[in-house]
Amino acid sequence: MGQLTFLNFVGDQLWKVHPVVHVDLSGKTVVVVGANVGLGFEAAKHFASMNPERLVLGCRSQEKGQAAVQAIQATGFKNAELALVDLSRFASVSAFANAFIRDGSQIDILVYNAGVASPNYVSTSDDWEEMIQVNHLSAVLLTVLLLPCLLKAASSGSSPNPRVVVVSSDVHYWASLSKEMAENDDKVLQKLSNKDYCTPKVMGDRYSLSKLLNVLFVRELTKRLPANSPIIVTSVNPGYCKSQLGRHLPFAVRIATAIMAAVLARTTEQGSRQLVWAAVGGAGREFELRGNYVSKANLQEVSDYVLSDDGAVAQRRIWEESVEILSGVEPKFESIVREMLTS
Selection from 14, 30, 11 nearest residue 280 by Cα: 30
DSSP 8-class letter at 245:
T
What is the helix (H) or strand (E) element at residue 233, kind and residue range?
strand 232-237
User: What is the rounded CA–CA span in Å between residue 85 and residue 48?
Assistant: 21
Say how many C-beta atoms besides its own lie within 10 A of residue 291's C-beta. Answer: 18
The reply to whether 211 belongs to the active site is: yes
Catalytic residue among 193, 211, 240, 293: 211
Catalytic residue among 112, 207, 293, 305: 207
Catalytic residue among 169, 193, 243, 303: 169
Say how many C-beta atoms besides its own lie within 10 A of residue 63's C-beta. Answer: 9
User: What is the rounded CA–CA span in Å between residue 81 and residue 77?
Assistant: 11
Q: Taking the CA atoms of the chain, what radius of gyration do you get in angstroms?
A: 19
Burial 164-190 (b: 16+ CB within 10 A, else e): bbbbbbbbbbbbbbeeeebeebeebbb
Q: With beta carbons less than 8 A apart as the criterion, state whether 94 and 330 touch.
A: yes
DSSP 8-class letter at 17:
P
What is the crossing angle of helices 138-145 and 309-329, to 10°? 70
Say how many C-beta atoms besides its own lie within 10 A of residue 299's C-beta. Answer: 16
User: What is the rounded CA–CA span in Å between residue 5 and residue 167?
Assistant: 21
SS (H, E, C) 114-171: CCCCCCCCCECCCCCEHHHHHHHHHHHHHHHHCHHHHHHHHHCCCCCCCEEEEECCHH
The reply to whether 138 belongs to the active site is: no
Query: Which SS3 state, helix, strand or coil, does residue 303 take?
Result: strand
User: What is the rounded CA–CA span in Å between residue 211 and residue 198?
Assistant: 17
Q: Which residues are catalytic?
A: 169, 207, 211
